[in-house]
Amino acid sequence: MENYIAQNRQRFLDELFALLSIPSVSADPSFSEDVIATADATAEYLRAAGAQNVEVCQTPGYPVVYGEYIVDPNRPTVLVYGHYDVQPADPIALWSSPPFEPEIRTTDIHPEGAIFARGACDDKGQFFMHVKAFEAMVATGNVPCNLKFMIEGEEEVGSANLAGYVKQNHERLACDVILISDTGMVAPGVPSLTTGLRGLSYVEVEVTGPNRDLHSGLYGGAVANPINALTDMIAQLHDDKKRITIPGFYDRVETLTEGERAELAQSPFSLEAYKKALDLVDVAGEAGYSTMERNSIRPTLDVNGIWGGYTGAGAKTVIASTAHAKISMRLVPNQDPKEITELFTQYFLSIAPAGVTVKVTPHHGGQPYVCPTDHPGYRAAVAALSDSFGQKAVPVRSGGSIPIVALFEAELGAKSILMGFGLDSDAIHSPNEHYGVANYFKGIETIPLFYRHFAAEAKA
Binding track over 170-189 against Mn ion, x by CB under 5 A? ------------x-------
Touching ligand BES, residues 106-135 (CB under 6 A): 122-123
Q: What's the half-sphere exposure (Cβ side, CA atoms, 13 Å) at 348?
A: 23
364 binding ligand BES? (CB under 6 A): yes
Q: Which does 158 bind (CB under 5 to 8 A by kind): Mn ion, ligand BES, none?
A: ligand BES
d(CA 61, CA 456): 39
Q: What's the half-sphere exposure (Cβ side, CA atoms, 13 Å) at 246?
A: 23
156 binding ligand BES? (CB under 6 A): yes
Strand-pairing partners, residue 103, are: 116
HEC string of 54-111 equals EEEECCCCCCEEEEEECCCCCCCEEEEEEECCECCCCCHHHCCCCCCCCEEECCCCCC
Considering the complex, what minimum distance in angstroms separates the CB of residue 120 from Mn ion? 12
Considering the complex, what minimum distance in angstroms separates the CB of residue 430 from ligand BES? 11
Amino acid letter for position 174: A
Binding residue for ligand BES (CB under 6 A) from 68, 155, 426, 457?
A: 155
433 binding Mn ion? (CB under 5 A): no
Which residues, at least 6 apart from 345, have a Cβ–Cβ distance to it below 8 Å? 203, 360, 362
Q: Which is nearer to Mn ion, 15 or 433 (CB)?
A: 433
d(CA 82, CA 193): 16
d(CA 48, CA 12): 13
403 binding ligand BES? (CB under 6 A): yes
Binding residue for Mn ion (CB under 5 A) from 123, 135, 426, 445?
A: 123
Binding residue for ligand BES (CB under 6 A) from 402, 427, 437, 447?
A: 402
Considering the complex, what minimum distance in angstroms separates the CB of residue 160 from ligand BES? 10
Binding residue for ligand BES (CB under 6 A) from 153, 158, 377, 395?
A: 158
- What length does the chain have? 460
d(CA 186, CA 418): 13
Identify which range of 48-56, 146-154, 222-230, 399-407 contacts ligand BES by CB under 6 A.
Answer: 399-407
**Which spans of this chain sit near ligand BES (rule: CB under 6 A)?**
122-123, 155-156, 158, 182-184, 197, 200, 364, 398, 400-403
